[in-house]
Amino acid sequence: MKTISKLLMILSVAFLVSCQGDPGPMGPAGYDGQDGQDGTNILGIVFETDAYNFSFSNDFLLYYAFPNDVEIYDTDIVVVYVLWEQDNGLDVWRALPQSVFFNEGTMMYNFDYTAGDVQIFIDGTMDPNLLPSGYTDDQIFRIVVLPADWYNNKSVDLNDYNAVMKALNKEVEPVKGVQLYKR
């Protein structure tokens, strides 16, 4: 008897769940709300420094503060590129750190960053005062800020500036000495 009761209950539930009726009339349209503020594009920012001269008086250090209207997060990835040369009118960018070997020792362009700034500096075993002016004068850098969650979903070689720009869907622009892109 209990088995028949359970079976009837299961069949009743199955019957009720499987039945559908007419969907009914469409309800009234909702009210149009106030427009919100546009969201933020999180697909990277690129800044370019003005031509910079490293010297003893500035401790062979370039300090670049991010603009106040740009929010950099602790989880963002920051990559710095130095304009290494121009080849047939095309800029050649190299990712930092970048080392150069001399008879007198090694020099390296390197950097560190926080959510508020980037410091680019000359390091190495060589006395930086002995460096040829081509390594200290009129140096131009591009600072690329990438959201970590964007980068985690990509397989991009961060050493290749052009590949990073392509992945960000940004055009590679020649050196201008101004901020290139903004979120």
Could you tell me if residue 49 is inside a domain? yes
Q: How big, in percent rounded to 5, are the helix, strand and coil portions of the chain? A: 20, 30, 50
Whether 27 is in a domain gets the answer: no
Q: pLDDT digit string (tens) for 125-166?
A: 999 999 999 999 999 999 999 888 777 666 788 899 888 888
Distances (CA, A) of 35 to 29, 40, 181, 183: 17, 15, 26, 21
Whole-number Cα distances in Å, 16 to 3, 5, 11, 111, 143: 20, 17, 9, 68, 64
The arithmetic mean of pLDDT across residues 35-58, rounded, is 78
CATH, residue 129: 2.60.40
67 part of a folded domain:
yes
Least confident of 73-77, 130-134, 168-172: 168-172
> Residues near 150 by Cβ (< 8 Å), separated by ≥ 6?
42, 43, 44
- What integer best gives the mean pLDDT of the chain? 81
177: pLDDT strictly greater than 90: no
Quick: pLDDT tens for 52-61: 999 999 999 9
Structure tokens at 2: 């209990």
Distance CA 64, CA 46 (A): 13
What pLDDT is stored for residue 2 in this prediction? 63
**95-124 pLDDT, tens per residue?**
999 999 999 999 999 999 999 999 999 999
The span from the CA of 39 to the CA of 29, in Å, is 26
The answer to whether position 89 is within a domain reads yes
Number of domains the chain is built from: 1
Count other C-beta atoms under 10 Å from residue 59's C-beta.
Answer: 13
Domain assignment present for residue 140? The answer is yes
Greater pLDDT, 20 or 130: 130
Q: Name the percent of the chain lying above pLDDT 70.
A: 73
H-run or E-run covering 112: strand 105-113
Alpha carbon 145 to chain centroid, angstroms: 3
Q: Is residue 38 predicted with pLDDT exceeding 80?
A: no
- Domain presence at residue 22: no
Domain extent, residue 110, equals: 45-167
pLDDT for the residue numbered 174: 63
Residue 182 predicted with pLDDT over 50: no
Identify the band that residue 73 occupies on the pLDDT scale cut at 50, 70 and 90. confident
Alpha helices in the chain (DSSP H): 2-18, 133-136, 148-152, 161-167
Residue 11 lies in a domain: no
Residue 132 lies in a domain: yes
Task: Please tell me the distance from the alpha carbon of residue 53 to that of residue 43, in angstroms, as a whole number.
Answer: 31
